[in-house]
Every structure is written in structure tokens, then in C-alpha cells.
Structure 1
Amino acid sequence: MQSTGWRQAVEWLAAAAKDPRQCKREWDHGTGTALLAAGRYWDVLSVPDRLGLLALDLLWSDPLKVPGPTLVDVMARRVGFFLPPDPSGQWVGFGVRHVSRGSWVAVPPPYRPTGRLEWLVPPDGTGTLHCPTTLEQALRTATGTLAVLTPPGPEPTEPDGW
């Protein structure tokens, strides 16, 4: 991403903060992460990492379309897809969490990873988000693939996270 793109992405993300200036200071001089409000400019669909990484791989299959912003929490083993706000939040599935209005998301700056958080696809600064229909299809396909690849056994436990 060009430095101009970084600046646009920083401004776009920071707009979701209670105090955008403080947000940018945290990214540059503080902990490196900022708490941003979900539900105004975007929601986050958080899924287990195996499902999310496979779905993201499927979304990359069209070379003409870059997926929307996607964040990974390596410690919690979760992938977060940024998508348009959806007040109904009808996302259903094992381990699927829809983070929307009234919730906060810890976010690193778009130009570098911070601790356990890293952008798989950083925001481009234009407001591009994942298309819910396309994301849902990729998650359904990934779920089917994982069902075939995963041997039967005890239910996995979910780590804390989004």
C-alpha cells in the first residue's frame, strides 16, 4: 500500500474512534491498538481461524476483486471480516460472532501488525468492505470443505476473543 493509501486508511479507520486524534496517537506512540466502535461505518464478522482463512482464500480466487479489510487475532485464533453495518445481524454458525452497534473492536494501524493483531487485508481507505452475500457464500463453501477435511471427534473449544 502506498503511503497515501496508508494515510487514507488511517483516516477511514480512525473515524470510527471516539477520539480520532487519540486513536492515531495510540497507533503511533501507545499500545499500537485502538478500540473502534462497530456498527457505524462497519461491522465485523468474527469466525474461527481455519474457517476464516479458507474463506479468505476463496475470496482471493477472483483476481479482479480484492477482498475487504480482514483482521486476524493470532492468539484467539479468529479472523474478522469488515462488512457493512447490519442491524439485523442474521449471521449463524458454529463459532460465528457478529460484532455490531454497541460493541468495540481492538484494531491495529493499517500499516503494521501489533502484538496479536494483524491485517490480512488492510483497509484501502476508500471504505471498501466485504460484500455480505459473497462472504456468506465463501463461508458456506469453506464450511463444507472443512467438514470433509476434519475427522469426527470431540467438539473443539473456542478460545476467548471477538
Structure 2
Amino acid sequence: MTNTMWMRGVEWLAAAAADPRSCKREWDHGEGVALLEAGRFWDLLSVPDRLGLLTLDLLWRPGVPVPGPALVDTAAGRVGFFLPPDPCGGWVGAGLRYATKGAWVAVPPPYRPARFLEWLVPPDGTGRLHSPGALEDALRQANGSLAVLGPLGGQ
């Protein structure tokens, strides 16, 4: 990722903050994590890390555009996918958590990890997000693979 892309990613993410300048200061000089409100520019679907990593692998294929931003929380064992805002918040399922308007998400800057948060796919500033349909298909496929692999992993 080029410096220009990182700078655009910083501006894009910080725009979701109540005070973008304060957000950028926190990233650079504070704890390195800012709380950003979901629901205005993006929503976040958080899934267990095994499911999320396999899903991201399915989305990231040659010849297909790079998927939208994805964040891993190693302390919680979760992967978050940034999606277009959905006022209905129609994502339900075992282990799924959906953050939309009124929810706050801890995010590091696009250019480095902070504490337990790290970008798997950092935002590039274009506003590109995960397509809900493609993400749902990949989640279903990954979940099916895990159902098959789960019993094998125990042997």
C-alpha cells in the first residue's frame, strides 16, 4: 500500500469520528486506537476468527478486486468485515455480531497495528466496502468447510 493510499485511508476512517483531528492524534500519540461510530459510512460484521480468516481467504482470489477492509481482534478472537450501512441490520447467526448506528468500534490506524487490533485488509480511502452478497456467500462456504474440517481436526 502506498503512502498516498494510507493517507486516504486515514482520512476516510477518521471521517467516522466525532472529531477527526482528535482521532488522528490518538492514533499517532495516544493508545493508537480510536472509537469510531458505525452506521454512518460503514457497518461492521464481526465473526469468530477461524470463520473470518477462511471467509477472507475465499474473498481474496486472483482476478477479483481486493475485498473491503477487514480487521482482526486477536484478544477477542474475531474478524470484522466493513460493509455498507444497513439500517435493518439483517445479519443474524450463531457467533455473528453486527455493529450499526449507535455502536462504537475500536480501530487502529490503517498504517500499523495497535494493541490487539490489526488490519488484514486496510481501508484504502476509496470507500470500498465488502459486498453483502459476496460476503454472505463466502461466509456460508467457509462455515460449510469448517463443519467438515472441525471433526477432522479433533482426530
TM-score above 0.5:
yes
- More displaced stretch, 53-62 vs 119-128: 53-62
Residue of structure 2 in register with 1:13 after alignment = 13
1:81 aligns with 2:65: no
1:116-137 per-residue CA deviation (whole Å, 9 max, x = no partner) reads 0000000010000000000000
Residue of structure 2 in register with 1:63 after alignment = 63
Structure 1 unmatched runs, 5+: 153-162
Alpha-carbon distance in 2 for matches of 1:139, 1:106: 23
Q: CA deviation at 1:89?
A: 1.0
1:96-117 per-residue CA deviation (whole Å, 9 max, x = no partner) reads 0110000000000000001100
Write the letter of the residue equivalent to 1:79: V
Alpha-carbon distance in 1 for matches of 2:38, 2:51: 22
Write the letter of the residue equivalent to 1:135: L
Structure 2 unmatched runs, 5+: none
SS state of the match for residue 119, structure 1? Answer: strand
Could you tell me the percent identity over the aligned residues? 70
SS state of the match for residue 66, structure 2? Answer: coil
Total equivalences in the alignment: 152
SS state of the match for residue 146, structure 1? Answer: helix
Alpha-carbon distance in 2 for matches of 1:79, 1:104: 16
Write the letter of the residue equivalent to 2:148: V
Residue of structure 1 in register with 2:36 after alignment = 36
Residue of structure 1 in register with 2:102 after alignment = 102
SS state of the match for residue 72, structure 2? Answer: strand
SS state of the match for residue 146, structure 2? Answer: helix
1:148 aligns with 2:135: no
Alpha-carbon distance in 1 for matches of 2:63, 2:92: 28
Alpha-carbon distance in 2 for matches of 1:127, 1:62: 21
- More displaced stretch, 69-78 vs 84-93: 84-93
TM-score, length basis structure 2: 0.96
> Following superposition of structure 1 onto structure 2, how do residues 108-123 of structure 1 map, counting pairs within 5 Å?
108-123=108-123
- More displaced stretch, 86-95 vs 7-16: 86-95
Alpha-carbon distance in 1 for matches of 2:92, 2:65: 25
Alpha-carbon distance in 2 for matches of 1:4, 1:90: 35
Q: CA RMSD in A?
A: 1.0
Residue of structure 2 in register with 1:155 after alignment = none
